[in-house]
Amino acid sequence: MANKKKATIKDIANVLNISPAAVSKALHDDSRISEKTKKAVKQVAKNLNYQPNHLASALRKGKSNLVGVIVPRTNSNFFSSVIQSIEEVLNKEGYNIIITQSNESYKKECDNIDALLFTQVDGIIASMANETVKLDYYKKVKSKGIPLILFDRGENDLNVDYIGINDYESSHMIIEHLVNQGCKRIAHIGGFKRTRIFNNRIKGYIDAIKKHNLPLEDELLIESSLTIEDGRAKMQQLLNLKNKPDAVYVAGDYAALGALQVLNENKINIPQEMALVGFGDEPFTALIKPSISSINQHSKEIGRLAALTFLEHMKKDVVKQSLNKKILDAKLVVRDSSAISNN
């Protein structure tokens, strides 16, 4: 069945035998239009199921009051919490947000950027997909003079505003904790080095291991996509080693959950035989048995700062002089999976 043609201002004007300009003014409560005409216009608009063309309005005004938000996935508490915080701040200032997710796909991320640019968003707040290596599409956003703020995952080469945590120091914090619990052979299931935050977590792990003169072996450092399935597969890989680790630091909570499942299935005593630490402080980490130690990334504060940074760009008659790079100190939340001294 063919789509029904959308009603336009011209259609309303034809019904009432007035000019489209008069209809537009009536719909915007212009004081120059009589109350009688306004009432008639609004009634016809309702009858015709007229919907305003916000894109055309944005083109006329040069401002849409829309902000695009791109995240790798929305089913993560970290990203959903960031989104909620961004929305709370921007709504108070008259902005609405359009949420898109890349599902860790570079192509989907590029499509999202194109769609947001077509919608004439006033700015984009984004966290990059795992697959993203080329930065051409983000450079396109910059070239159009649209404010671009990256959070959590971002690249220094873009030279844009960035809000995140100190991933390098977070890894040090985790290794220090595990060493203090008596762990001597610590493995790391990390993300891909090509992504800055995961590269920094890997560097932090390596330097902390060296600092304590612990074994630094290729078989103990594994890159992955950090899904539950990956966590399961990589943990099984570690259990198959002749010389197994006594602790595993996982760079994402979902992969840590997969790793925990395999440990439980193999009846590995946690944390005495093998300690486990995740990253992200997802709600489930506190609810499962044993509960998983994890890094809290201050998601609400990251969202708040990202939104405030965008608003700085939008202040009239203010030229933003310098980039806003906020690096927050993360917090390690110790739970049953790594609290050996408490067991």
The better pLDDT of the pair 52, 177 is held by 177
- 218 and 183 within one domain: yes
The confidence band for 296, taking pLDDT boundaries of 50, 70 and 90, is very high
- 84 and 16 within one domain: no
For residue 251, is it within any domain?
A: yes
CA-to-CA dists, residue 96 to 91, 122, 233, 285, 289, angstroms: 6, 10, 41, 32, 40
Number of domains making up the chain: 3
pLDDT in tens, 171-194: 999 999 999 999 999 999 999 998
pLDDT in tens, 134-144: 888 898 998 88
Domain that holds residue 242: 167-297+332-342
- 159 and 303 within one domain: yes
- Residue 59 confidence (pLDDT) above 60: no
Which residues sit opposite 67 in a β-bridge?
Answer: 97, 123
- 289 and 175 within one domain: yes
- 251 and 222 within one domain: yes
Instruction: Output the pLDDT for position 49.
Output: 86
For residue 1, is it within any domain?
A: no
Query: Tokens 């806003």 identify what position?
Result: 324
Instruction: Output the pLDDT for position 1.
Output: 40
Instruction: Please tell me whether residue 17 adopts helix, strand or coil conformation.
Output: coil
Choice among 30-39, 116-125, 301-310 with the minimum mean pLDDT? 30-39
For residue 159, is it within any domain?
A: yes
Question: By the 8 A CB rule, do 206 and 249 touch?
Answer: no
The confidence band for 11, taking pLDDT boundaries of 50, 70 and 90, is confident
For residue 58, is it within any domain?
A: no
For residue 3, is it within any domain?
A: no
CA angle, corner 203, sides to 75 and 256, nearest 5?
A: 35
- 155 and 303 within one domain: yes
Q: What's the CATH code of the domain at 230?
A: 3.40.50.2300
- 263 and 180 within one domain: yes
What would the mean pLDDT of 47-75 be, rounded to a whole number? 78
- 237 and 224 within one domain: yes
Which residues sit opposite 186 in a β-bridge?
Answer: 247
pLDDT in tens, 311-322: 998 885 555 556
- 290 and 240 within one domain: yes
The confidence band for 158, taking pLDDT boundaries of 50, 70 and 90, is confident
- 80 and 24 within one domain: no
What would the mean pLDDT of 265-271 be, rounded to a whole number? 95
- Residue 95 confidence (pLDDT) above 50: yes
Which residues touch 274 (CB under 8 Å, ≥6 apart)?
244, 245, 246, 247, 248, 263, 268
For residue 57, is it within any domain?
A: no
For residue 38, is it within any domain?
A: yes
- 293 and 188 within one domain: yes
For residue 60, is it within any domain?
A: no
Instruction: Output the pLDDT for position 174.
Output: 97
Q: The pTM is what?
A: 0.79
